Structure 1
Amino acid sequence: MNNQTLWRGRIPTYDELMLPLLQLVSDGNVYQLGQIVSALADYVNLTTEQRDELLPSGKRTRFADRVSWAKTHLQKALLIESVGWGKFRITARGIWLLSQKPVQITHKVLMQFPEYAQFATRKSDMPILPMLSADDDYELPLMAHLTPQDLIEMAYQNLMSDLAEELLEMILSAPPHFFERLVLELLMAMGYGDPSTPAKAVGGVGDAGIDGYIYQDKLGLEVVYIQAKRWSPDKPVGRPDIQAFVGSLLGVGGKKGVFITTSRFSQSAMTYADELQHLKLVLIDGSRLTQLMIEHNVGVVIEKQYTIKMVNREKFGI
């Protein structure tokens, strides 16, 4: 590793940390973020004050936050991969990139990889906030026309998207039964069920039946049955899976069901669910799942809140 002169006397930006991070894990071993934060802090010769400098929220050090962002961007480019809860390692692509002996890993370097390009240009109400570094002056004019409110909105959308993807990654890395309990907790947070008639998990790993149920009223007259599939994003839930769940619902006399997956639903599965006549079935895919978790504060905490104020023109008679 080299190029320490880039950040001499200051905390490196997260894009400046990407190359040394990738070099640090180039041996192919499995690492945890905490290990990398400590090793990189030593490598860049941070002072004690710099190591301990906190974000405005006071909940995380500034350096650890930047290392985490560096890891996120490397992972979006498939230069490193998750191998368990909080664990990761370098990929063949990451090894290849290091063999090219880059001086620094920048936004332009990452954009050569289609997965990162898709991430960096993902569809949203606002364009993605570009990653800026010393040699990315070409991007500055693109931002010149944006208002501070635009920039805040862009940053917010980026943070929400990254949070959703991190949530999904954590769910996929968690123990099998965790997902079923999480789904029930989410439905309770959304207003389903009642403390006197709590939700219950009943399914087993790999079964095609009912994983849980939740009451909609205190008397238990209305029951919603739940199927939870913790599948990888590249394995869609198909029509046969929905049919199996419907069969289980009919077997217990159920009229309402929720099928939740970390993956996605095939078109035939969605069509089948829409055309059901005698029961109501709601499908929630991985994207919708994480949106609901964020909306109802399940698996997330508020790190920092910003209040934007404006002049009260009525006060001044304007």
Structure 2
Amino acid sequence: MNTPQYHEMLIPTLKVIEELGGSGTIQEIAEGVIQLLGLPEEVTSQPHNPEKSSQTEVEYRLAWARTYLKKYGLIDNSERGVWSFTDKHQRGMRLDPEEIVQTVRGLAKNAKKRVINEEPDAIPEAKDWREVIHQAILSLEPSAFERLTKRILREIGFVQVEVTGKSCDGGIDGKGIVKIQDVLSYHVVFQCKRYKGSVGPGAIRDFRGAMIGRADKGLFITTGTFTREATKEATRDGASPIDLIDGDDLVEMLKKLRLGVNVRMVEEVEVDGQWFENI
């Protein structure tokens, strides 16, 4: 099965958002579209451009679909990355994907600027700083990546963080303790891998086998992505829980923790002339 084109994902994206109650995160929408279209793992695990991003080809084309639907006026996203319907969207409305594509391209042409690239080589929602950070992580030496992992875990609340991967400890690269309110403590083992592709369910099962009887929880960190089957395996009922952090999560964590990232807030002031006239 070939990966569906972005225009083939327009209507499925709307259907999934509707099924989610009118709003959804990027991950929820992606999982819904994958299930709706019945896409197998060999399709959903294909990377788009592993040299620049951990994004899969399906995620890349879904980003295009969301961008076209947004430019068409049917959906919009909040600062927290939640996508929802606009007032223009009406339940049960008939929509033609080709009309949506041509309308959006027409808007771009009339505005005399390329709002959307007509060749599927650019990620419409990509942020340059994300790609720069991701590339910087991939270029780190193994020891530097271990230090980065330890720093991140300490920043988010881990104590007694220790890297043990050099001892070939059954797939476990390190361990630490998470303290909650200085009352509860959880022993966590982690595995951190610099992958450019996708991590499958087999790697999750192997990691779980190595952590049994040695920790309360597991944490799998990768610079790549996790397949849908790997995500399901990590949260499988009756099995030891494993939390997942992929390449995009790593980038967001570095931004949130201000590690190697400087964020400048810009204040915009608008004067209400009508207010002064009514004094």
State the TM-score, normalized to the length of structure 2.
0.51
For 1:215, which of 160, 174, 177 is the aligned residue? 177
Indicate yes or no: 2:270 matched with 1:306.
no
State the Cα deviation string for residues 258-314 of structure 1 (Å, max 9, x = none). 111111112221111121425321112112221222122123123x44211223789
Percentage of matched positions with identical amino acids: 27
For 1:228, which of 167, 176, 192 is the aligned residue? 192
CA RMSD, aligned part only?
A: 4.0
Q: Which residue of 2 aligns with 1:95?
A: none
Once the two structures are superposed, the pairs formed by residues 168-247 of structure 1 within 5 Å of their partners are: 168-189=134-155, 191-193=156-158, 197-204=159-166, 209-217=171-179, 221-233=185-197, 236-247=198-209
State the Cα deviation string for residues 184-230 of structure 1 (Å, max 9, x = none). 322333x322xxx4422221398752222232225783222211011
- Label 1:296 to 1:313 Cα distance change in 2 as closer, same or farther (>3 A): farther
Residue pair 1:184, 1:214 contacting (<8 A) in 2 also = no
Q: Distance in 2 between matches of 1:292 and 1:273?
A: 20
Q: Which runs of 5+ in 1 are unaligned?
A: 1-77, 83-113, 128-137, 147-156
- Label 1:163 to 1:243 Cα distance change in 2 as closer, same or farther (>3 A): same
Return the offset for 1:237.
0.9
State the Cα deviation string for residues 122-158 of structure 1 (Å, max 9, x = none). 855977xxxxxxxxxx9574379x9xxxxxxxxxx98
Q: One-letter code of the match for 2:152?
A: L
Return the offset for 1:170.
1.0
For 2:235, which of 257, 262, 274 is the aligned residue? 274
User: The residue matched to 1:260 in structure 2 has which SS?
Assistant: strand
Higher relative contact order (CA 8 A, sep 6+): 2
Q: Which runs of 5+ in 2 are unaligned?
A: 1-48, 72-106, 116-122
- How many residue pairs were aligned? 178
Return the offset for 1:246.
0.7
State the TM-score, normalized to the length of structure 1.
0.45
Indicate yes or no: 2:128 matched with 1:162.
yes
Q: Distance in 2 between matches of 1:300 and 1:260?
A: 20
Whose strand fraction is larger, Structure 1's or Structure 2's? 2
Q: Which protein is bigger by CA-based radius of gyration? A: 1
